Structure 1
């Protein structure tokens, strides 16, 4: 089936706005079903032309329009635009609109949910509030006055500083806010509700006192302290590392339960999904504490990389997101374990971004065209974008990168600019030519670096050859060689890193690949070295080198780079798993023995480097393994992964038990040492359960009963997934009984059920969806059930009869009319049909065709479905 695609917007079609807006005055009369918005804008014609003023608007009612205080009726109005013909060069436009926040289930624009008003305007939500030039290159100062019932909505918040407030005779009150900084409409924010308020302060490097305010649901105040502490850490870190000081006198964060994203960096008023704010030991895991710190940091860092300097157009989204993700990764690495953080970053790339590159949705970090802007928010733009910034950091060095960022802000503060502007600033500040490097912004796909070597025993001459290539992608057939900073080292037989000052690349431990083929030669060696390649994952590429088992074990033991030691362990596991998947009846015992010897040695790291030990003792995920093969044989690969994990569990059961018993912690606290111990303890428990250790059941029940924190409670439930179903169900029943009134914890319960391997999963899912606490209106709940099932329940989702695909498609169609943005996110596994066996490809495409036949399909879904159905492998 071939589906015709809607007309796409193209980066090459960008034109400067016909009009500019210098100041916006907005008045909100909040009402659950009939909110009135009066927007008065100071507008100037941009250049000499006679084109009309065309304003964006969607799903709102136009009440009146006045130009220079005179009402006008001579305008053109359709479902998406208001067009006004005027000869004025400078004028005031007043537009009054009416909206129904309670019916806005898309959670874009202004919506009412869980008793509070909230906005989400990125990327194009402001047009659901009023008719406006809703594009990021139109920047203005905003005054905002909010009227609402005082008893129900005592807190009325918007961007900037509060400059006025008052009480009306009818029980309403008003608050006026003024943002002194120019901003695009996507950074506008409004929140009104009844919250608990946690306050603190931060003294900046110049001595200014910034008031910090955290607004949370009633009764949740004690869960906000970690978020406030994280914010203060982020503010101090940005001053220390980048010299960037916060610029307003108040910084507000509001936590809401209904939110499409993780958080939003609106100037001075960040709106957060509650899951990235609320935490205490009983209800939040170590990962939750980590994620809160990371996301709080990310949104704060946007104050400069996104707010003070923003995007000219949405094709430049990686300008702010790739750069800010890199900054939050560096922050997280400084706050906790650098190697564990780097591994987490790389797993996202290998599991999700590489999959996106291999699908119909492949695109560069700066895409060339799009149908629906919400579909820009991808792992490619964010996470690969961060890797591109990291490569620049590698090429320029710490000092050079800082000089480049300083010049970037000096040139563009208060402006909307492009990715090219950023790269040019980095180049001009350092005199390092980044012309070739810019290809990373325009070329999609995952480069592959093939490495071969030769060693001449007689001369001691060793040659390494690097060959790079990028396979064709759905959006681009022709590829060019990229500028790749490729870090490596050579290890001698004693595990020492070889140096040779006559080979600059070896001394720098890096070669800059700029052509299709590069060679380096080292002379005077007495033995063939072992190359340790792509240290610290210095570029988002795949590496092909024919390592022997012994070489991988050598790197695991001796590489100077912790990431490479982990990576070698993963390669060894992967080799075993793929070997078993390909030939299940003739296992490679020598390979498996070599792997077990290596794993046994990893236990010795538990005392000296527990973070690395926990990572190395974990086998690759099914998602990672899937990206290592041309065609995914679901059952064979899944069962091989489980079998290798079972082999590790049973063969080393005594070591797992000893490791488990050794990880003793006191009362819960979130610090690095205890986090590592809990990670090792719960990993050990899962291996003990899978290996059917005699002590497993007793340990499960004892830890569940004694756990004083959510990390250990959830560790029991995750481990129980490897054991008998009835035991898992029993523990889950107890867990639900305790936590059924805490929505964030219940999301974990839903997710565990949805990704559990069980033969009756498709009968269980409807029970979850009919649960009194489930709602399709709640994005967190949808992601916890439907997202967990589609992304992580391998056998259930990929059932050979297609029932898993049909189940997801049925709910995609339901979500299409409720929240198309969420629907477009969780449809991703269906759009990645290209790598599966022919029967599953057919079944997945059939469900995509069903979705395509929906006559009211949203633009969010149209783009993904049509691209996927029209995909042709190159």
Structure 2
């Protein structure tokens, strides 16, 4: 397999400045006529090499002259001896109906759709399929008028007409040069929801939202979210939309969440369709967040794009940060922050500790699709957030303004972005830039020592070796930092090294000096999760409770309780008990926030198995899972009266998606999940389900029933499944609940569910809901001692990889994280990875992850 390296980047030998495409849609013989205006880049004699895969070349001309000295391979069209500037025309045919990988142009469920990021355009026509080749596009789409009344592409519609054979056509023009990965084409029969938006400079933009027939009532929230995102981007960043029309299309068969194609965003239906009956509060949140994310890409990704795919975090990390800012402004800053931290701790830290560790700007890859990781996206967003912290709100905005001023219409690098930020600050960002090139999760150690009339608090950093990098350097880390005593009194260090609540840890170790106090000083570290790091310090239960009761930062308060829960679970792992004083302390702490539903609901969520794994090595799955279950059950038993009182105190009228109701509803359902563990509350859970007028409460009841006895849960699931059997998106929730239920016959149950009429291996949503939920979140089933869960996943991946390697590569992730577990589980997991590697015709996507994981075995031992 060929390894691609960032260090090997070379500018393109040729540029393509203008593209004219004419596409005649047909299920198994779509005809694509391409006319490319090509210029040589510099002085050289290289052949013209265009990317192309699974194409049938019918015709080729240069400047209207037939070309007969070309060569076609499985991956390229090679033409020697071309001029410095010329027009290349080709005609190719492709088969959209047999394209099950959902890359390039494919036909699914009666809809033609494209997905070209990262390297899908080469499956449509021959091209320089790389992000640093930017061209303007004129696209004419032909299709059967009855079957395909809607024909869409990028840009503005400029002409349309009918043909004599019952087909029709629409011509689109995008005046903004873009890379091929942003090309889009969609054709089908949709319902259409329309609106307009007037920009800050008075330009009226037509908004069009296309959804499956009969789903129009589920599209309004997405359209309203788009308008909020457009307004927010103007207000916060001064960025205005630049075309006459903005289109969003929702399709059910889509590998990703959504795609930011210029002016024509293609969305997975689950991130567009929402109404109270079918969507939870979390679904509404995700619709608004993803709609905003793809819109924000119009500037951070489209107008300024990546020079090469190693720079992916340039657009994704930055845009994730922007959508996080937006969501915090639209909803709740605290809940949003905790949501993102859970992703970092459960998934990104795990990736750092696995064979797939890589910096946010990776150095090498085999398959570009494997770049779409939590490290590039979510850790990338944390690096941008640290820049925002260092520069401040106004400084960051000034840096963004400079970035667009310098690079609008260009394909650039992460270094270009940092350079723009450097231009607006006296802070030297050279040291900070190491975050882009160094992988791994830094560990911050905090120690205390009394010495004479002072207390010394030493803060030090180290980044453990990772699979891809053995040697590590010190990083520049902004640490949210404060110091309190047991009563909550705040203290300032003598030298004033902590400024505005931030300690700049720009070396291996810093020691802070405090005046000696009667009581022990308590360092409160990582306010608002100011950096993607682990904190290592010895705090006892009394000190953790003091932080919860007295810290100024609500994230610190939540985190202190999470640490205390983790410690309690570790006691059960060691066959010890939790002292009564700790239970009393927990009761008092939670009681103090009984009317603060937002913080309370977050604090009532016990760390997941996945989170607990991040603070442990050589994990005995059965012991840890049992310890957690023991703790959460005792938690429910001890606090049942208090939980019932909270549940009964929350009264809501008819469903509304507004923040206060969302917070209250979340708290009530979190409380119900605890109560549902106790058999005596099964009637309460049933009542919650029956009285629900919205999907949030319905799903809350199902999840609560899942924690208890099987009979009530199965009855409710039968009711839910029967009601929503014809709605695939809603049924995905049902599939997921089945897949995460801990039961002895889980594997045969999964097999039975695969025969459900609404399940299809060709639909990524269904596969993720059933197989993905099992692999990622069914602890006892996936990690069965006999290895049957690992074998089941592997069998499925072997089948899936032949049709959709992108999804297969994502679902193999739990197997590749074997390093965390004890030798028994490691052996079982690696056995299945070896089986995968032996498969003939294994995709590059899966091969890269599996081969790296198994190669890590020798370096880890």
Same fold (TM > 0.5): yes
Query: What whole-Å deviation, never above 9, does each CA across 1:102-151 have from its counterpart, x for those lacking one?
Result: 00000000000111100000000000000100000000000000000111
Match of 1:725 among 699, 710, 725: 710
Matched, 1:858 2:843: yes
* Consecutive aligned runs of 4 or more in structure 1 exceeding 4 Å deviation: none
Alpha-carbon distance change, 575 to 746 in structure 1, aligned in 2, over 3 angstroms = same
| Cα shift at 1:703 | 1.4
Matched, 1:493 2:486: yes
Match of 1:662 among 639, 649, 653: 649
Match of 2:468 among 452, 456, 475: 475
Structure 2 match to 1:260: 255
Matched, 1:594 2:582: yes
| Cα shift at 1:76 | 1.1
CA distance in 2, matches of 1:97, 1:606: 66
Structure 2 match to 1:484: 477
Structure 1 match to 2:409: 414
CA distance in 1, matches of 2:597, 2:591: 9
Matched, 1:537 2:529: yes
Matched, 1:849 2:834: yes
Match of 1:241 among 236, 249, 260: 236
Structure 2 match to 1:564: 556
Structure 1 match to 2:212: 217
**TM-score after normalising by structure 1:** 0.97
Secondary structure, counterpart of 2:860 in structure 1 = coil
Secondary structure, counterpart of 2:423 in structure 1 = helix
Structure 2 match to 1:190: 185
| Cα shift at 1:791 | 0.1
Structure 2 match to 1:74: 69
Structure 2 match to 1:635: 622
CA distance in 1, matches of 2:43, 2:137: 26
Matched, 1:444 2:432: no
Matched, 1:159 2:154: yes
Contact 1:596 / 1:648 at 8 angstroms: preserved in 2? no
Match of 1:776 among 758, 761, 764: 761
1:462-861 matches, cutoff 5 A: 462-499=455-492, 502-523=494-515, 525-581=517-573, 583-584=574-575, 586-590=576-580, 593-607=581-595, 609-692=596-679, 694=680, 696-861=681-846
Gaps of 5+ in 1: 1-5
Structure 2 match to 1:57: 52
CA distance in 2, matches of 1:625, 1:524: 35
Structure 2 match to 1:352: 347
Q: Name which of structure 1's ranges 376-385 and 696-705 shifts more when overlaid on structure 2.
A: 696-705
Structure 2 match to 1:17: 12
Match of 2:128 among 94, 114, 133: 133
CA distance in 2, matches of 1:210, 1:71: 43
Contact 1:251 / 1:269 at 8 angstroms: preserved in 2? yes
Contact 2:222 / 2:291 at 8 angstroms: preserved in 1? yes
Q: Name which of structure 1's ranges 525-534 and 735-744 shifts more when overlaid on structure 2.
A: 525-534
| Cα shift at 1:600 | 4.0
| Cα shift at 1:508 | 2.2
Secondary structure, counterpart of 1:870 in structure 2 = helix
Contact 2:548 / 2:589 at 8 angstroms: preserved in 1? no
Match of 1:320 among 315, 322, 334: 315
Query: What whole-Å deviation, never above 9, does each CA across 1:304-353 have from its counterpart, x for those lacking one?
Result: 00000000000000000000000000111111110010000000000000
Query: What whole-Å deviation, never above 9, does each CA across 1:261-320 have from its counterpart, x for those lacking one?
Result: 000000000000000000000000000000000000100000000000000000000000
Contact 2:307 / 2:412 at 8 angstroms: preserved in 1? yes
Contact 1:573 / 1:595 at 8 angstroms: preserved in 2? no
CA distance in 2, matches of 1:153, 1:352: 41
Structure 2 match to 1:96: 91
Secondary structure, counterpart of 2:707 in structure 1 = coil
Q: Name which of structure 1's ranges 58-67 and 346-355 shifts more when overlaid on structure 2.
A: 58-67
Secondary structure, counterpart of 1:136 in structure 2 = coil
Contact 1:26 / 1:40 at 8 angstroms: preserved in 2? yes
Contact 2:450 / 2:516 at 8 angstroms: preserved in 1? no
CA distance in 2, matches of 1:526, 1:139: 66
Structure 1 match to 2:365: 370
| Cα shift at 1:599 | 4.0
CA distance in 2, matches of 1:557, 1:321: 37
Structure 2 match to 1:3: none
Query: What whole-Å deviation, never above 9, does each CA across 1:151-179 have from its counterpart, x for those lacking one?
Result: 11111000000000001121111000000
**TM-score after normalising by structure 2:** 0.99
Contact 2:491 / 2:514 at 8 angstroms: preserved in 1? no
| Cα shift at 1:529 | 1.9
Contact 2:48 / 2:82 at 8 angstroms: preserved in 1? no
Contact 1:26 / 1:38 at 8 angstroms: preserved in 2? yes
CA distance in 2, matches of 1:683, 1:718: 9
| Cα shift at 1:628 | 0.4
Contact 1:600 / 1:652 at 8 angstroms: preserved in 2? no
1:197-212 matches, cutoff 5 A: 197-212=192-207
Secondary structure, counterpart of 2:219 in structure 1 = helix
Match of 2:115 among 120, 123, 129: 120
Aligned residues between the structures:
859
Match of 2:171 among 170, 176, 181: 176
Query: What whole-Å deviation, never above 9, does each CA across 1:429-455 have from its counterpart, x for those lacking one?
Result: 223210001110010001101110123
| Cα shift at 1:503 | 3.1
CA distance in 1, matches of 2:110, 2:648: 47
CA distance in 2, matches of 1:673, 1:561: 21
| Cα shift at 1:602 | 1.6
Contact 1:717 / 1:728 at 8 angstroms: preserved in 2? yes
Secondary structure, counterpart of 2:231 in structure 1 = helix
CA distance in 1, matches of 2:473, 2:678: 48
Let me know the Cα RMSD of the aligned residues: 1.1
